[in-house]
């Protein structure tokens, strides 16, 4: 078999056989298929697409290219969640303890921030002592003992995807639905949970800018997961504005705790309850209505908060030191004023995410350190009526950061007009679920 013939075949719009896809992926992982051939094939996929069988074969080949978590000893209640990335998305910190407090087993590998989007591992590292690197044995043990573990992605999980993603990033081949679907699902399948809930974001802060495109991606991911024998569902959710109020690592942990204490922003609470209900429905076999009612009870009764404390302590984190540290550092926000009066009709979530990155909450280059106290708090969101000069946000610049560029970026992301905007849904659609 020759890679050049397979690229030619795809270029002409023909489907590759499973063994041909395995030849490409195994060769690319081992180094015998060079970057330039893989990039040419990825570009051909961008133009010609892939059949469902090809996408399933690509996902399986990438999932099998490295280590796989073996969670079979934990039974059928293992459940994972994946967000396609957003601004202010701290849902894992809330959803995972709700689900674990009701008998689901959440064994999750999470990532770091990427571009303007935040990452759960960065958020958790703002808690003093929290260990994100666990051995495979410690990972499974904690899942068994606590019902909840969240660690960084093991270095050798789906290495073919890691290599291919890095190549796609620099060859303009990221935005292909079959390539994104197989990339996400290869990691989810390798991570081993029996059930998977996907939070597919749509809007100005998301990869998929329209609900229709997000639904197309979700359909593909659900089909891949089901073909691999997993229970899968996806919610298409709004990322046309940031989720909740806080953007930035320590600020987001604080906000997640507030929701677990029965406070916090309503949009965040609602989305978390629905994601938790999906996870519970899949892993406990409950109806969606029953699962939602159980999730509300666990959140409002404080059970989920207790589970969060148990989980963080099991991974070495000290929530009291986290709160005391933030109090001691007297972190004060810089007020940002509305430039004119009117309704906020649009917030460009990507620009707001970039504003948080400029304040030090994210990375300009791979390997940069993040400042856990940096970020911003949104006081007025889309639909709010504001007066010129009214404080609409608070910015928290990291040490040594000049907030001027972040302020300009935040304001560039706002549209203020005379008329009130149409309200937007928080959740557009559900795809998949229990069969
Ligand atoms: N996230 C992934 O993991 N892979 C993609 O291809 C895009 C987003």
pLDDT tens figures, 371-422: 999 999 999 999 999 999 999 999 999 988 889 999 999 999 999 999 999 9
* CB atoms inside a 10 Å sphere around CB 221: 28
- Cα dihedral: 306, 311, 317, 319 (round 10): -20
How far is the C-alpha of 237 from the C-alpha of 351, rounded, in Å? 19
Indicate if 161 belongs to the active site. Answer: yes
CATH of the domain at 406: 3.90.1170.30
Identify the weakest region by mean pLDDT among 63-67, 116-120, 131-135, 159-163. Answer: 116-120
User: Is residue 326 included in any domain, yes or no?
Assistant: no
pLDDT tens digits along 233-278:
999 999 999 999 999 999 999 999 999 999 999 999 999 999 999 9
User: Is residue 123 included in any domain, yes or no?
Assistant: yes
User: Is residue 282 included in any domain, yes or no?
Assistant: yes
CATH of the domain at 19: 1.20.970.10
Question: Using a 6 Å cutoff on CB, does residue 79 contact ligand 1?
Answer: no
| Cα of 384 from ligand 1 centre, angstroms | 33
The whole domain housing 44 covers: 3-49
The residue whose C-alpha atom lies closest to atom 7 belonging to ligand 1 is 180
State whether 301 and 380 are in the same domain: no
Contact predicate 184/221, CB 8 Å:
yes
Question: Using a 6 Å cutoff on CB, does residue 183 contact ligand 1?
Answer: yes
User: Is residue 235 included in any domain, yes or no?
Assistant: yes
| Cα of 322 from ligand 1 centre, angstroms | 31
Output the pLDDT for position 19.
Answer: 97
Q: Which residue among the candidates 22, 82, 231, 377 is catalytic per the annotation?
A: 82
> Which residues have CB under 8 Å from 210's CB, separation 6+?
202
Band of residue 297 on the pLDDT scale cut at 50, 70, 90: very high
User: Is residue 354 included in any domain, yes or no?
Assistant: yes
Give the length of the chain.
Answer: 435
CATH of the domain at 241: 3.40.1030.10
Indicate if 284 belongs to the active site. Answer: no
Contact predicate 160/61, CB 8 Å:
yes
Q: Which helix (DSSP H) or strand (DSSP E) does residue 406 occupy?
A: helix 404-412
How far is the C-alpha of 76 from the C-alpha of 348, rounded, in Å? 40
State whether 300 and 357 are in the same domain: no
State whether 43 and 99 are in the same domain: no
Indicate if 168 belongs to the active site. Answer: yes
State whether 79 and 200 are in the same domain: yes
Question: Using a 6 Å cutoff on CB, does residue 180 contact ligand 1?
Answer: yes
State whether 115 and 10 are in the same domain: no
Nearest to 343 by CA among 264, 419, 237: 419
Q: Which of 165, 199, 200, 217 to mutate to test the pocket of ligand 1 (most atoms within 8 A of CB)?
A: 165
User: Is residue 64 included in any domain, yes or no?
Assistant: no
- Which atom of ligand 1 is least distant from the CA of 180? 6
State whether 222 and 114 are in the same domain: yes
> Is the pLDDT at 341 greater than 90, yes or no?
yes
> 0.85 cut: is pTM over it?
yes
* Number of domain units in the chain: 3
How far is the C-alpha of 183 from the C-alpha of 159, rounded, in Å? 11
| Cα of 115 from ligand 1 centre, angstroms | 12
Nearest to 90 by CA among 217, 231, 249: 249
431: DSSP letter: E
| Cα of 162 from ligand 1 centre, angstroms | 9
How far is the C-alpha of 53 from the C-alpha of 281, rounded, in Å? 28
Instruction: Look at the block and give the residue holding tokens 């979700």.
Output: 218
Q: How far is CA 9 from the centre of its chain?
A: 35
Output the pLDDT for position 246.
Answer: 97
Could you give the residue ranges of the DSSP H alpha helices within 76-210?
91-101, 120-124, 136-146, 159-169, 177-191
Percentage of residues in the chain having pLDDT higher than 90: 85
pLDDT tens digits along 316-335:
999 999 999 998 888 789 99
The residue whose C-alpha atom lies closest to atom 5 belonging to ligand 1 is 180
User: Is residue 348 included in any domain, yes or no?
Assistant: yes
State whether 283 and 170 are in the same domain: yes
Contact predicate 85/117, CB 8 Å:
yes
How far is the C-alpha of 311 from the C-alpha of 97, rounded, in Å? 8
Q: How far is CA 84 from the centre of its chain?
A: 5
State whether 14 and 42 are in the same domain: yes
Q: Which two tokens stand for residue 297?
A: 């009870």
Output the pLDDT for position 96.
Answer: 98
Indicate if 183 belongs to the active site. Answer: yes
pLDDT tens digits along 130-166:
999 998 899 999 999 999 999 998 778 899 998 998 8
State whether 125 and 233 are in the same domain: yes
- Which atom of ligand 1 is least distant from the CA of 184? 3
How far is the C-alpha of 139 from the C-alpha of 24, rounded, in Å? 32
Contact predicate 101/303, CB 8 Å:
yes
Mean pLDDT of the chain: 94
Q: Which residue among the candidates 77, 116, 163, 168 is catalytic per the annotation?
A: 168
The residue whose C-alpha atom lies closest to atom 3 belonging to ligand 1 is 184
User: Is residue 209 included in any domain, yes or no?
Assistant: yes
How far is the C-alpha of 333 from the C-alpha of 376, rounded, in Å? 8
Indicate if 82 belongs to the active site. Answer: yes
Q: Which of 111, 180, 185, 213 to mutate to test the pocket of ligand 1 (most atoms within 8 A of CB)?
A: 180
State whether 214 and 178 are in the same domain: yes
234: DSSP letter: E
Question: Using a 6 Å cutoff on CB, does residue 181 contact ligand 1?
Answer: no
State whether 291 and 403 are in the same domain: no
State whether 80 and 203 are in the same domain: yes
């Amino acid at each position: 078999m020759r890679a050049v013939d397979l690229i030619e075949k795809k270029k002409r719009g023909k489907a590759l056989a499973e063994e041909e896809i395995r030849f490409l992926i195994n060769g690319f992982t081992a180094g015998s298929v060079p970057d330039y051939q893989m990039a040419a094939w990825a570009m051909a996929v961008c133009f010609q697409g892939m059949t469902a069988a090809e996408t399933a074969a690509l996902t399986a080949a990438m999932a099998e290219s490295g280590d796989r978590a073996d969670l079979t000893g934990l039974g059928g209640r293992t459940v994972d969640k994946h967000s396609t990335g957003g601004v202010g998305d701290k849902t894992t910190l809330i959803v995972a303890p709700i689900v674990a407090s009701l008998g689901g087993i959440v064994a999750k590998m999470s990532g770091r921030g990427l571009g303007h989007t935040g990452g759960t591992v960065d958020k958790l590292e703002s808690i003093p002592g929290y260990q994100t690197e666990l051995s495979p044995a410690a990972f499974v043990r904690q899942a068994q003992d606590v019902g909840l573990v969240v660690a960084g992605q093991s270095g050798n999980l789906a290495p073919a995807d890691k290599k291919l993603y890095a190549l796609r990033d620099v060859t303009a081949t990221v935005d292909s639905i079959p390539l994104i679907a197989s990339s996400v699902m290869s990691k989810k399948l390798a991570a081993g949970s029996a059930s998977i809930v996907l939070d597919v974001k749509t809007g100005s802060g998301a990869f998929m800018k329209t609900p229709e495109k997000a639904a197309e991606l979700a359909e593909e991911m659900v089909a891949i997961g089901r073909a691999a024998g997993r229970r899968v569902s996806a919610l298409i959710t709004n990322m046309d504005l940031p989720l909740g109020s806080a953007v930035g690592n320590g600020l987001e942990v604080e906000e997640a705790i507030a929701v677990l204490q029965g406070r916090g922003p309503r949009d965040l609470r609602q989305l978390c309850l629905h994601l938790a209900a999906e996870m519970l429905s899949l892993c406990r076999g409950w109806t969606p209505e029953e699962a939602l009612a159980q999730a509300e009870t666990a959140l409002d009764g404080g059970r989920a908060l207790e589970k969060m404390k148990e989980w963080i302590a099991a991974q070495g984190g000290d929530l009291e030191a986290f709160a005391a540290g933030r109090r001691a550092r007297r972190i004060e926000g810089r007020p940002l004023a509305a430039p004119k009066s009117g309704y906020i009709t649009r917030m460009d979530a990507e620009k707001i995410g970039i504003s948080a990155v400029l304040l030090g909450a994210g990375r300009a280059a791979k390997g940069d350190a993040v400042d856990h106290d940096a970020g911003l708090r949104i006081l007025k969101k889309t639909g709010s009526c504001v007066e010129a000069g009214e404080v609409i946000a608070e910015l928290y610049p990291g040490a040594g950061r000049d907030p001027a560029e972040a302020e300009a970026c935040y304001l560039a992301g706002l549209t203020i007009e005379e008329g009130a905007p149409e309200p937007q849904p928080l959740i557009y659609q559900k795809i998949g679920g229990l069969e």
